[in-house]
Amino acid sequence: MELAAQKWLDDWNRHRKGGAPNRIEVIELRTDPKYAGFIKHDPATAKVSIKRAKDKIKVEIKDFISPTIVNRLDMEQNIFKAKITDWRSMVDCVMVDTAYDGKIFNVVLSDVPEKKTDLVSGNYDLTSPNGKTTVAVKIIDMLGEEVLVTKVV
């Protein structure tokens, strides 16, 4: 906050005594310990193994972490104590393109659980195109954040 704004705010509040409803309180989102993580964004990350085995491409998602989901659960820990025991519980869907050109994502495989209680598989065997190809794996978490992992095989 600018110093001039603080002077104006002090003057405003000084004229509103006795618990007046129109007093102004400023919350500093960057430094206030209660709200410090509010505007900070750590991107989701994934560990994905992509391998070619003869005429197949094997994709295995080994781990996925969404700091946004973890922080949201930590902020609401007074309401409930939720623990994430399986990375798949943070994932909404997984899509794979076996011939990714860097511009257009053509979905060859889509793993979207039918029910809210179902989880994505995380292990996929796909038919491999001839020759070298770029495989792209797109993982979307429950809040809509996307992680794209690519590998030439």
Pick from 51, 48, 57, 83: nearest CA to 69: 83
- For the record, the structure tokens of 153 come out as 């095989």
Same domain assignment for residues 78 and 33: no
Same domain assignment for residues 26 and 52: no
Same domain assignment for residues 101 and 143: yes
Domain count, the chain: 2
What's the pLDDT tens digit per position in 1-44?
A: 777 888 888 888 888 877 778 888 887 766 677 766 566 678 99
Same domain assignment for residues 31 and 66: no
What's the pLDDT tens digit per position in 68-127?
A: 888 777 665 555 555 778 999 999 999 999 999 999 999 999 999 999 889 999 999 999
Same domain assignment for residues 32 and 49: no
Same domain assignment for residues 50 and 105: yes
Same domain assignment for residues 33 and 49: no
- For the record, the structure tokens of 55 come out as 């005429």
Task: Give the 3-state secondary structure percentages of the chain, helix then strand then coil, rounded to 5.
Answer: 15, 30, 50
Same domain assignment for residues 7 and 80: no
Q: What is the pTM (predicted TM-score) of this model?
A: 0.72
- Cβ atoms of 100 and 150 closer than 8 Å: yes
pLDDT at 59: 97
User: CA-CA distance, 140 to 77, in Å (whole number)?
Assistant: 24
* Full residue range of the structural domain in which residue 113 is found: 45-152
Helix (H) or strand (E) holding 73: helix 67-75
Same domain assignment for residues 75 and 4: no
- For the record, the structure tokens of 76 come out as 């609401």
**CATH classification of the domain holding 132:** 2.60.40.730
pLDDT at 35: 67
